[in-house]
Amino acid sequence: MTSALKNKWILITGASSGFGAAAARAFAAEGARLLLGARRVDRLEQVAAESRQAGAAEAHCRGLDVCQTASVDAFLAWARQTITPRQPSDARLDVLINNAGGALGLDTVAQGKDEDWEGMLQSNVLGVLRMTRAALPLMVSNPGSSILNIGSVAGRVAYEGGAAYCAAKAGELMITRALRLELNGTGVRVSTIDPGMAETEFSLVRFKGDADRAHKVYEGTQPLLAQDVADILVWVASRPPHVNIDELLVKSVDQAAIHKVFRRKPKTE
Ligand SMILES: NC(=O)c1ccc[n+]([C@@H]2O[C@H](COP(=O)([O-])OP(=O)(O)OC[C@H]3O[C@@H](n4cnc5c(N)ncnc54)[C@H](OP(=O)(O)O)[C@@H]3O)[C@@H](O)[C@H]2O)c1
């Protein structure tokens, strides 16, 4: 059976690693056409090549910093040109995945650093707003198109050291809800996919390259994998055009709650 996503245009931010890279490969396997953005272009090129191998009808990539309006606008101008080179004004985007973001540090508010707070609010909140504003002209006349925002369980439940990240993801949740109201009647679908703990480069970035500290987050437990989230994104985007998956919260079985993670004891020989 032909996939509902075959030849559809999918734009993924933060496609150089983790959920974004896994989503690129998963949409590729459906025969979709990909527009991939992130700051590390060498990594993006690798993901684009893997996506072509996985079956993408087309896979294109370009540097993108969602924290910079000029970068976002230049990316969307390139996207238009790539989708319809002869008539960029006729370009139609089918799926926008606002995935770029992450956490910086795990400091209490008392110890918090301006650059971490600003970085988290820039990428997770303003990045989603900027990308969506720039992409909407390619979507509003395309009923059944989808905006899939990546939120987090952190946007729903606070934890110590997570004030700014939780605030940012709660912001993403409210943006998603407001946007769904604003777009009512256009046929554009708006969803938030909110994962719990998943093993990606997330903790390595949060702990600024401290691999031991990042590794400890997942020690003894089975977290979600990037592929699990990618499978969900494909499923949400391929529902019939009249179906909107509003909010989807997904956690690993071992994570019953944000503070309750089952960890297996290391085996002693
Ligand atoms: N892993 C988890 O436990 C978890 C749980 C819930 C939600 N999330 C959310 O899921 C999303 C993806 O994270 P991940 O777990 O896949 O982590 P990841 O492996 O670190 O991926 C983050 C991606 O975002 C990109 N990115 C970061 N800042 C950017 C910017 N300013 N402009 C463009 N791209 C940017 C990174 O690319 P470059 O560095 O190359 O720009 C990278 O491709 C994030 O929004 C994160 O908050 C993660």
The whole model's pTM is what?
A: 0.98
CA distance 154 to 194: 8
For 71, the enclosing helix (H) or strand (E) is helix 69-83
Nearest CA to ligand 1 atom 36: 14
Catalytic residues: 165
Regarding the beta carbon of 203 and ligand 1, being less than 6 Å apart is answered no
pLDDT, one tens digit per residue, over 63-107 is 999 999 999 999 999 999 999 988 988 999 999 999 999 999 999
User: Cα of 142 to ligand 1 centre, how many Å?
Assistant: 27
Average pLDDT for residues 133-149, to the nearest whole number? Answer: 98
Over the chain, what is the mean pLDDT?
97
User: Cα of 101 to ligand 1 centre, how many Å?
Assistant: 4
- Residue 169's pLDDT is what? 98
Regarding the beta carbon of 252 and ligand 1, being less than 6 Å apart is answered no
- Residue 266's pLDDT is what? 80
Average pLDDT for residues 208-215, to the nearest whole number? Answer: 98
User: Cα of 215 to ligand 1 centre, how many Å?
Assistant: 17
- Residue 267's pLDDT is what? 77
- Going from the C-alpha of 200 to that of each of 63, 75, 192, 204, 206, the distances in angstroms are 20, 25, 19, 8, 11
Tokens, residue 47: 């993901």
CA distance 19 to 220: 22
Domains in the chain with CATH codes:
9-250 (3.40.50.720)
Average pLDDT for residues 132-147, to the nearest whole number? Answer: 98
Atom of ligand 1 nearest to the CA of 68: 31
pLDDT of 269 > 80? The answer is no
pLDDT, one tens digit per residue, over 14-51 is 999 999 999 999 999 999 999 999 999 999 999 999 99
Calculate the CA dihedral of residues 116, 118, 122, 125 and round it to 10 degrees: 90
- Residue 133's pLDDT is what? 98
